[in-house]
Amino acid sequence: MTALVPIPSPGETLFYGEWGNPAVVVLHDMYGRMPWLEPFATAVASRGFRVAVPDLYSGFCTPDREAARNLMESLDVAQALSIIDDAVEQDRETGVERVGLVGFSMGGWLALLHAQGGGADAVVAYYASLGSADHGVIPCPVLLQWAESDSWRTGEDPESFVTRLKDHGTPVTEYTYAGTHHSFANASLPSGLDSRAAALAFARTAVFLEAQLID
């Protein structure tokens, strides 16, 4: 495997914001915990949250699409969900009662999957859905942030996913950003970044989390 880049604090979950604030776990995309997630997490924390950013790739990230796909395909999903559990538990040990999940692409898929266990009070998923085989009831509000141009594997069609969510009674809010492509919010990949869309999506993410997690 080529083009892998070691990251700071490998295998550790990084935390931002004040202990005791409502918690948000931010889950990276298939490229790994790249540098852009630090200012993203800091910005979320500035809105009154305690933010956890796990490393799901055991110390590596990559800007290379092929290497990223290899990392994603070798991901142990059960272990990744356990890492998310640990991040949530570390936050709950501070006394917080409400926890939100924010995930990008692969991380959004994991956030939606994890939320079916009932451990989250809100989920924000960027350009991510669940196929019918993986989809159960998500018992909390969901915000979906879509790119206008994207590709989906068989069984992960977003329209069908949203229909299933609504059929299960899950409150769903969704936005599609004109002219954007998959990974439009990843500032460490400048070729695909859409700064305006990313800023608007962040603002909507923050407002959604505040409404669901802060009294």
Q: What is the pLDDT of residues 149-168, one digit of tens each?
A: 998 765 678 889 999 999 99
**Token pair in block for residue 5:** 């880049």
Domains, in order of start, for the chain? 5-213 (3.40.50.1820)
100 close to 123: Cβ distance less than 8 angstroms: yes
Are residues 34 and 188 in contact, defined by beta-carbon separation less than 8 angstroms? yes
The CA distance from 25 to 130, in Å, is 19
Check residue 1 and give its pLDDT.
47
User: pTM for this one?
Assistant: 0.96
User: Hey, what are 209's tokens?
Assistant: 């989390």
Task: Write the DSSP assignment of 184-212 as a string of letters.
Answer: TT-TT-TTT--HHHHHHHHHHHHHHHHHH
**Which sign, positive or negative, has the C-alpha torsion 176, 184, 148, 52?**
negative
Q: What tokens does 190 get?
A: 């400048």
Q: What is the largest CA-CA distance in the chain?
A: 47
Strands (E), the chain: 5-6, 14-16, 23-27, 50-53, 60-61, 99-104, 122-126, 142-149, 172-181
pLDDT at residue number 170: 96
Among 32, 76, 78, CA closest to 54: 32
Determine the pLDDT at residue 2. 60
Q: How far is CA 134 from the centre of its chain?
A: 17
pLDDT in tens, the chain (215 residues): 468 999 999 999 999 999 889 999 999 999 999 999 999 999 999 999 999 999 999 999 999 999 999 999 999 999 999 999 999 888 788 788 899 999 999 999 999 999 999 999 999 999 999 988 888 899 999 999 999 999 876 567 888 999 999 999 999 999 999 999 999 999 999 999 999 999 999 999 999 999 999 97
| Residue of 94, 78, 72 lying closest to 24 (CA atoms) | 94
